[in-house]
Amino acid sequence: MAQSEQEILAGLADIVNEETGLDTDSVQLDKAFTEDLDIDSLSMMTIVVNAEDKFGVKIPDDEVKNLVTVGDAVKFIGANQS
Amino acid sequence: MTTDRRVVVTGLGATTPLGGTVPATWEALLAGKSGARTLTEEWVAKYELPVHFAARLAVPADEVLAKVEIRRMDPSAQYAVIAAREAWADAGAPELDPERLGVAIGTGIGGVWTLLDQWDTLREKGVRRVYPLAVPMLMPNSPSGNVSLALGARAGAHCTVSACASGAESMGTGYEMIRTGRADMVVAGGTEGAIHPICFAGFAQMQALSTRNDSPETASRPYDTTRDGFVMGEGAGVIVLEAEEHARARGAKIYAEFAGIGMSSDAHHITAPEPEGAGASRAMIEAVGSAGLTPGDIVHINAHATSTPVGDIAESNAIRRAFGSAADAMAVSATKSMTGHLLGAAGALEGVFTILAVHNRLAPATINITDFDPAIELDVIRGEHRQLPAGDIAALNNSFGFGGHNVAFTVKSV
């Protein structure tokens, strides 16, 4: 079942926190993973895989480069949840 | 650049089966406590391992490090970072040019937990679930790299790998970096986080481990006639080495001088020590001679003494071969009787003990000797720890590793 944007954001913030130690409050829709949150490509891979498990979506490797901001990821997950 | 500079020790750090810090560890050591305990992990029974105990960290790493540090570092790197931070703080965490600060942290086994966890993940869950940091976590230089990151050290970060001599060899590497002018300070030591079923199984199959399952605290008994193998330990020992003039200029507390190092290899057998101790004695003679010392200056030896039937005698023979009757005046400690055998961290932790023994003029006793082996021709301290003499004194630390590696170094009072 599809989750609300707020639920996805909160879930994603937990994943980011677990992998990087960043405060969940810093994970906001307008924040860019690389520019604002300083998340490197290795951490991003783990975040993507953990998000697939948590939200029941498939995020192809080709798609990851398009997920620039947290909002991009939330939107992609929301649109692709079954 | 100045070469052949004198090198001193200005900081100490450790996380061990006896304590989470150097002061806690030293206090437990002087009190004659054992860090060995029955293991509660399910894998001991699951794989029917013949040994049920080990010397685990007194303070688990997850009580010290942030959650994300635990997640992104193998236990071997976690322990190194804990010990390095303590050592660096103890040295006063001085401001210096990062290009003059080096790191040398060795390990015997490396990231075995990460390697095998990730292999399980690959087989059970597929490639996409393999952690992207798997390789930088499992590589043996991961502790060294992580310590250099933690401290911003840019003079070079090295990893020596010589089994149970790794930690001592790293201290020698750090000493050479300063002596030859590559760095002014080096954070040096060894680490091991290898209490993993495969290491247990491998050492047990070699008959290298004590099987005294009903009494873990008395299982590590170097020099006792009933010794039956070593006790697996884990942890890290790290020191801060510093050019003497650099330490004096900033008014640093100086524990001792790191005076000399000797290394050799046996080329005899991949695991068995050469029984006459020819290679080991050469390392000891070099460690004393290169420091400008004579055997008569050495008042204390922290022996490698792992509590194996063959190894303890081979080392005793090597000490006699190196020093002859001068060995009568050397008070010997086998601290693995309390810490267990920390493998790649052993020589480093025992280096910390050797430095403290010279600094505090107190040599720890060896515990669990109820029937002293008459084949051991050494003055082994038993019962109470022993006061070392006043005046200029020096001590020797011995470490030997599978592969035939022999590393000895000397420490002088300042």
Residue B24 and residue B131 in one domain: yes
> Mind listing the pLDDT tens digit for each residue in A35-64?
999 999 999 999 999 999 999 999 999 999
Q: Which of B67, B69, B132 sits opposite A46 (nearest CB)?
A: B132
Chain B residue with minimum CA distance to A20: B68
Domain A5-80 matching CATH 3.40.50.1220: the answer reads no
CA distance B147 to B104: 9
B291/B234 same-domain check: no
CATH number of domain containing B351: 3.40.47.10
Q: How far is CA A33 from CA A17, A51, A71, B97, in A?
A: 12, 14, 10, 32
pLDDT at res. B247: 98
Final residue belonging to a domain, choices B192, B216, B249: B249
- Regarding whether B159 and B104 lie in a shared domain, the answer is yes
CB B183 within 8 A of CB B219: no
Burial class (CB in 10 A: 0-12, 13-18, 19+), A26: middle
In a domain, B34, yes or no: yes
Beta strands in B16-167, from DSSP E residues, in sequence order: 37-38, 53-54, 101-107, 157-158
The residue among B197, B223, B249 that closes a domain is B249
pLDDT value at residue A82 = 72
- ipTM of the shown complex: 0.86
In a domain, B256, yes or no: no
If you write DSSP's letter for every residue of B203-228 in order, what string do you get?
A: HHHTT-B---TT-GGGT--TTBTT--
Identify the domain containing residue B147 by its residue range: 7-249
B68 close contact with A: CB closer than 8 A: yes
Each of the 414 residues of chain B gets a pLDDT tens digit; together they read: 446 799 999 999 999 999 999 999 999 999 999 999 999 999 999 999 999 999 999 999 999 999 999 999 999 999 999 999 999 999 999 999 999 999 999 999 999 999 999 999 999 999 999 999 999 999 999 999 999 999 999 999 999 999 999 999 999 999 999 999 999 999 999 999 999 999 999 999 999 999 999 999 999 999 999 999 999 999 999 999 999 999 999 999 999 999 999 999 999 999 998 888 999 999 999 999 999 999 999 999 999 999 999 999 999 999 999 999 999 999 999 999 999 999 999 999 999 999 999 999 999 999 999 999 999 999 999 999 999 999 999 999 999 999 999 999 999 999
Co-location of B177 and B324 in the same domain:
no
For residue B46, is it within any domain? yes
**Measured between alpha carbons, how far is B354 from B349 in angstroms, rounded to an integer?**
9
Q: Is residue B254 part of a domain?
A: no
CB contact under 8 A, B132 and A42: yes
- Please judge whether A45 and B129 are an interchain contact, meaning their C-beta atoms are less than 8 angstroms apart: no
Does a structural domain hold residue B198?
yes
Residue B196 catalytic?
no
| One domain for residues B54 and B136 | yes
Number of domains in chain B: 2
Banded pLDDT at A1 (limits 50, 70, 90):
low
Say whether both B215 and B298 belong to one domain.
no
Query: Pick from B249, B275, B302: which residue ends a domain?
Result: B249
Name every chain A residue with its beta carbon within 8 A of the beta carbon of B69: 21
For residue A37, which of A79, A78, A72 has the smallest C-alpha distance?
Answer: A72
Q: What pLDDT sits at residue B3?
A: 62
Q: Which of B164, B199, B300, B385 is catalytic?
A: B164
Q: Are residues B303 and B215 in the same domain?
A: no
In this prediction, residue B4 carries a pLDDT of 79
Evaluate whether residue B59 is within a structural domain: yes
Neighbours of B321 (CB within 10 A): 17
Among A21, A43, A52, beta carbon nearest to B66: A21
